[in-house]
Amino acid sequence: MQPASDLPAGTILPFRPEGESWVARHVHDLPRSGIRDFFDLVQSMEGIVSLGIGEPGESTAWNVREQAIFALESGKTGYTSNLGLLRLRQAISRYMERLIGVRYDPEGEILVTVGVSEALDCALRAILNPGEHVLYAEPSYVAYSPGVLLAHGVPVGIPTRFEDGFQLRAEAVAQRAKPGVKALLLNSPANPTGTMVDEEELERIAAISAKNDWVILADEIYAELTYEKGHRSIASLPGMKERTVVLNGLSKAFAMTGFRLGWACGPAPLIAAMVKIHQYSMLCAPILSQEAGIEALDHGTAHVESMRRSYRRKRNYLWRSLTDLHFPCHRPEGAFYLFPSIVPFGLSSQEFALRLLREARVAVVPGTAFGPSGEGYLRCSFSPRMGDLEEAVGRMSRWMRANFRKEAIPATGD
Amino acid sequence: MSKEASFSAELLCLLEENPLRSSETLAKLLGCEPEEVEQEIARLEKDKVILAYKAIIDDEKAQRRTVKAVIEVKLVPERGGGFDRLAQRIARYSEVTSCFLMSGGYDLLVFLEGSTLQEVALFVSEKLATLRGVTSTATHFMLRTYKEQGILVGEAVDTNRLPISP
**What would the pLDDT profile of A122-148 be if each residue is shown by its tens digit?**
999 999 999 999 999 999 999 999 999
- Closest residue to B161, CB basis, from A38, A53, A309: A53
Same structural domain, A88 and A230: yes
Q: Where are the alpha helices (DSSP H) in A237-348?
A: 268-281, 287-299, 301-324
| Alpha-carbon gap, residue A38 to A48, rounded angstroms | 13
Same structural domain, A134 and A216: yes
Instruction: Pick the last residue of a domain from A299, A317, A348.
Output: A299
What is the predicted pLDDT for the residue at B80?
85
The answer to whether B41 and B15 have CB atoms below 8 angstroms apart is yes
Q: Give the range of the structural domain holding residue A113, as residue numbers without chain letter.
A: 62-299
- Kindly state whether residue A159 falls inside one of the protein's structural domains: yes
Same structural domain, A316 and A289: no
- Kindly state whether residue A391 falls inside one of the protein's structural domains: yes
Same structural domain, A91 and A221: yes
Same structural domain, A255 and A289: yes
Q: Is the pLDDT of residue A89 over 60?
A: yes
- Kindly state whether residue A24 falls inside one of the protein's structural domains: no
Instruction: Pick the last residue of a domain from A299, A330, A360.
Output: A299
Helices vs strands, H then E, count in chain A = 13, 12
- Kindly state whether residue A23 falls inside one of the protein's structural domains: no
Mean pLDDT (chain A) is 94
What is the predicted pLDDT for the residue at A262?
98
Angle at A109 between CA A106 and CA A114, to 5 degrees: 85
Count of structural domains within chain A = 2
Q: Does the domain at residues B3-46 carry the CATH identifier 1.10.10?
A: yes
Q: Is the pLDDT of residue A256 over 80?
A: yes
Same structural domain, A157 and A306: no
What is the predicted pLDDT for the residue at A411?
53
Same structural domain, A95 and A152: yes
- Chain A: residue whose CA lies nearest to B34: A414
- Kindly state whether residue A77 falls inside one of the protein's structural domains: yes
- Kindly state whether residue A41 falls inside one of the protein's structural domains: yes
Higher-scoring residue by pLDDT: A114, A21: A114
Same structural domain, A309 and A257: no
- Kindly state whether residue A225 falls inside one of the protein's structural domains: yes
CB contact B31 to A (< 8 Å)? yes
- Strand A181-187 vs strand A133-138: parallel, antiparallel, or unpaired? parallel
Instruction: Pick the last residue of a domain from A245, A268, A299.
Output: A299
CA dihedral A281, A285, A288, A294 (to 10 degrees): -170
The answer to whether A374 and A139 have CB atoms below 8 angstroms apart is yes
Same structural domain, A42 and A67: no
CA dihedral A200, A168, A317, A259 (to 10 degrees): 100
Do the chains contact at B164 and A141, CB–CB below 8 Å?
Answer: no
Same structural domain, A105 and A146: yes
Q: What residues of chain A, 290 to 329, have a C-beta less than 8 Å from chain B?
A: 309, 313-314, 316-317, 320-321
The domain that contains A271 carries what CATH number?
A: 3.40.640.10
Kind and range of the H or E element at B114? Answer: strand B108-114
What is the predicted pLDDT for the residue at B93?
96
What is the predicted pLDDT for the residue at A413?
42
- Residue A1 banded pLDDT, cuts 50, 70, 90: very low
The answer to whether A289 and A300 have CB atoms below 8 angstroms apart is no
Determine the average pLDDT of the residues in A74-85. Answer: 97
- Strand B151-152 vs strand B96-101: parallel, antiparallel, or unpaired? unpaired
- Chain B: residue whose CA lies nearest to A143: B166
Q: Is the pLDDT of residue A77 over 50?
A: yes
Q: Is the pLDDT of residue A4 over 50?
A: no
Model confidence pLDDT, tens digit, residues A312-339: 999 999 999 999 999 999 999 999 999 9
Q: Is A244 helix (H, G, I), strand (E, B) or coil?
A: strand
Same structural domain, A262 and A326: no
Q: Which residues pair with A366 in a beta bridge?
A: A378
ipTM: 0.86
Do the chains contact at B14 and A363, CB–CB below 8 Å?
Answer: no
Structure pTM?
0.91
Same structural domain, A85 and A170: yes
What is the predicted pLDDT for the residue at A3?
45
Q: Please state the domain extents for chain B.
A: 3-46, 67-144
- Kindly state whether residue A101 falls inside one of the protein's structural domains: yes
Q: Is the pLDDT of residue B40 over 70?
A: yes
What is the predicted pLDDT for the residue at A405?
72
Model confidence pLDDT, tens digit, residues B6-27: 999 999 999 999 999 999 999 9
Give the closest-approach CA distance of B137 to chain A in angstroms: 36
Q: Which of A113-122, A275-284, A397-406 has the lowest mean pLDDT?
A: A397-406
- Closest residue to A414, CB basis, from B18, B22, B165: B22
DSSP codes, A344-367: GGT--HHHHHHHHHHHH-EE-EEG
Q: Does the domain at residues B67-144 carry the CATH identifier 3.30.70.920?
A: yes
Nearest one of A319, A164, A311 to A227, comparing CA atoms: A311
CA distances from B28 to A320, B11, B16, B89 (A): 6, 12, 17, 43
Question: Which percentage of chain B shows pLDDT scores above 90?
Answer: 86
The answer to whether A296 and A145 have CB atoms below 8 angstroms apart is no
The domain that contains A394 carries what CATH number?
A: 3.90.1150.10
